[in-house]
Structure 1
Amino acid sequence: MAELRVPALVLAAGGGSRLGGRPKALLRYGGRPLLEHVLAVARDGGCTGAVAVLGASAAEVRARVATGDCRLVDNPDWRTGMASSLRAGLAALPPETDAALVLLVDTPGVTAEAVRRLLAAHAGRTGLAACAYAGRRAHPVLIGATHFPELLATATGDAGARTLLATHPVTLVDCTAVASPDDLDTPADLARWHIT
């Protein structure tokens, strides 16, 4: 059986409006920009390549973040919400993609082990899987390529893949002990994660 091709699809377009307009991709975590951290998590977790969708301060992100061979895609409509970034990212995936592992740039607690568990759970199926924490579905999410057309048709605003995930069976992969899905929305969140 051929090796599955599951690239990471990193959503990194947000402008950080609740953080004083600081683009989340450029926030520093562990001594490097948050986008670099998330790309390393995807690589170390076993994703086959990555596509990152940029929006706010895209030119600055390109200049200041070491993204390696990650394909960078600009989303000029990033202010309309996550759905437009999903569309831009899906359009940039390689044609032979079997599934996409969707990661958010503002979830620093997601680990390579969580990514590995999600990829292992997918293991040849073309469906949907998501990390779960104390029984609650959260990020990251893995979306099989057979679902891409429906995702493109149903994703709106900031809901992203919510409609798709609500109307199909989703394999939940327990990551409670190895990761955290908490995102960065407030200055208190930055302080808790020691992000500058």
Structure 2
Amino acid sequence: MEDRPKPSAGIVGILLAAGQGSRFGSNKLCHALADGTPVAVRSAMNLRDALGEMIAVVRPGDSVLRGHFDAAGIAYVLCADAAEGMAATLVCGIRATPGAAGWVIALGDMPYIRPDTIAAVAAAIADDARLAASFFDGGRGHPVGFAASLKDELLALQGDEGARRVIVGHKEQLRRIDCDDPGILADIDVPADVRP
């Protein structure tokens, strides 16, 4: 694609893929999409295609997902305290990428986000935005980008709300990336959410 922003140097993708996905009925991150690719692998590939450098964060006990990532050449780190919630997973990813100039945080159960959307969020962070997020049809979606200047606040997060507190605390600095990508709002919670 000619108009896709180039990968932004120093901006690292973090894929949060350590959740249980209990509403799905089975391991949703390993569920095959229509082309046979597991949900989390497609999410990771989109992040890698957009940014070049990315890491997934997984639960130590999820050997099936780790096997899928190994087969696809997806880098990952194990999060020993993943059961404490999404914030612990995010903190694990930040700690695993200490030299990053910023991060684009994406979710393992959102495989329909286009790489050009992810790249646009990263480009905003590389262009000195402190926070950046994609918007579709008026709604804020994923991924969300964070500048390295927010590292200490991100590392202080706890619980299962992810980075919401940091986003709300700096909402006036949020750079809005309007896009025509409905995938930014499409997470997979139940089998019916998987596109045919």
Q: State the aligned residue count.
A: 185
Distance 1:136 1:54 in 2: 28
Aligned counterpart, 1:85: 89
Aligned counterpart, 1:166: 168
- Deviation per residue, 1:90-146 (Å, 9 max, x gap): 1111x3210111110111221112112212322331511011112222210011111
Work out whether residues 128 and 142 of structure 1, in 8 Å CA contact, stay in contact via their aligned partners in 2: yes
Distance 2:107 2:49 in 1: 16
**Among residues 40, 48, 58, which one is paired with 1:43 in the alignment?**
48
Counterpart of 1:32 in 2: which secondary structure? coil
The worse-fitting range, judged by mean Cα deviation, of 4-13 and 117-126 is: 117-126
Distance 1:6 1:27 in 2: 29
The share of aligned pairs that are identical, in percent, is: 32
Shift of 1:56: 6.9
Unaligned runs of 5+ in 1: none
Aligned counterpart, 1:123: 126
Shift of 1:183: 0.9
The yes-or-no answer on 1:19 pairing with 2:24 is yes
The yes-or-no answer on 1:157 pairing with 2:132 is no
Shift of 1:15: 1.7
Unaligned runs of 5+ in 2: 1-7
Counterpart of 1:129 in 2: which secondary structure? strand
**TM norm structure 1:** 0.85
Aligned counterpart, 1:10: 15
**TM norm structure 2:** 0.85
Shift of 1:178: 6.1
Shift of 1:5: 0.8
- Deviation per residue, 1:170-192 (Å, 9 max, x gap): 111012346432211123223xx
Counterpart of 1:180 in 2: which secondary structure? helix
Q: CA RMSD in A?
A: 1.9
Distance 1:11 1:43 in 2: 14
Distance 1:112 1:178 in 2: 13
Distance 1:106 1:16, change over 3 A: same
Matches within 5 A, 1:41-80: 41-45=46-50, 47-55=51-59, 57-65=61-69, 66-68=71-73, 70-80=74-84
Distance 1:36 1:177, change over 3 A: closer
